[in-house]
Amino acid sequence: MSSLITSTIRCILDLNCFYNLSNVVDILFKTILDILFPPFCAGCGKFGVVICLKCIERIEFNHLNTCLVCGGQSIKGFTHPSCATFYTPERFISPFVYSDLVRKAILEGKFRGKTFYLYETLADIAYYYLYEVGIAFGNEALVIPVPLSHEKLSLRGFNQSDVIAQVLAARFGVPFVGNVLKKIKETRPQSRLARGERFVNVSGVFQVSALVHGKDVLLVDDVCTTGATFLSCCRALKEAGTRFVWCFSLARAVN
């Protein structure tokens, strides 16, 4: 712990760190959190790390590329031409299977009030996976998180999709825009609904509140099950003039 404090102080004293005050604040904040709540591996409980190397090696990657509209296999996750409409996304990407360590990390961050460092770590791993498979974005791209309702955001204190989206935006060097999509209606929890009910539940509940005309969007969420939330968000974005939408979820629930 003392080495962590020492390295942080040295970094803060280094003039190079002052090019961005937010970096200094972020380092201080994370150092205080590490002192008050020392990290333990989410997989095995090892002290000092959020996820240890052994547990990272156990993460199950999702090698099944599917069309988000019909759920059938597709080349690199692109929407089938027969499924595509003006309102559907062009591609769906999800690097992890929603199981074991990934499932535990997402649930602990979302519902048990644990630190969201787990999201940041998984998002970093996801970035390197995307980089390896050749994912890249142009100058007109924006990274946009799937929003929470005001009630859920107040209850949870943060939007987990924001955390993931900010990491990916920083890594890819494209703008993160957190206020583009708004959830304008309260809905029942998707996890408690059958497949058909999920599509009805989120139909027409999202609204675009910023200029996205002509832009390409990477739409980010933590978990995708049926794709109902993504499809509803995508419809709102396309109606507002978005050019291309790629949907990214950290994990995919595989039946």
**38, part of any domain:** no
pLDDT of residue 98 exceeding 70, the answer is yes
pLDDT of residue 171 exceeding 60, the answer is yes
Number of domains the chain contains: 1
What CATH number has the domain bearing residue 90?
3.40.50
pLDDT at position 211, please? Answer: 84
**19, part of any domain:** no
| Residue 245: φ, ψ to 5° | -130, 120
pLDDT of residue 28 exceeding 70, the answer is no
68 close to 79: Cβ distance less than 8 angstroms: yes
Q: CB-based contacts of 91: which residues, under 8 Å, 6+ apart?
A: 76, 77, 78, 79, 246, 247
Query: Could you tell me the two tokens for 231?
Result: 């499809």
Grade residue 235 by pLDDT with cuts at 50, 70 and 90: very high
**48, part of any domain:** no
Q: CB-based contacts of 191: which residues, under 8 Å, 6+ apart?
A: 225
Grade residue 40 by pLDDT with cuts at 50, 70 and 90: confident
User: The whole model's pTM is what?
Assistant: 0.82
Residue 185: domain span: 61-252
Cα distance between residue 195 and residue 191, in whole Å:
10
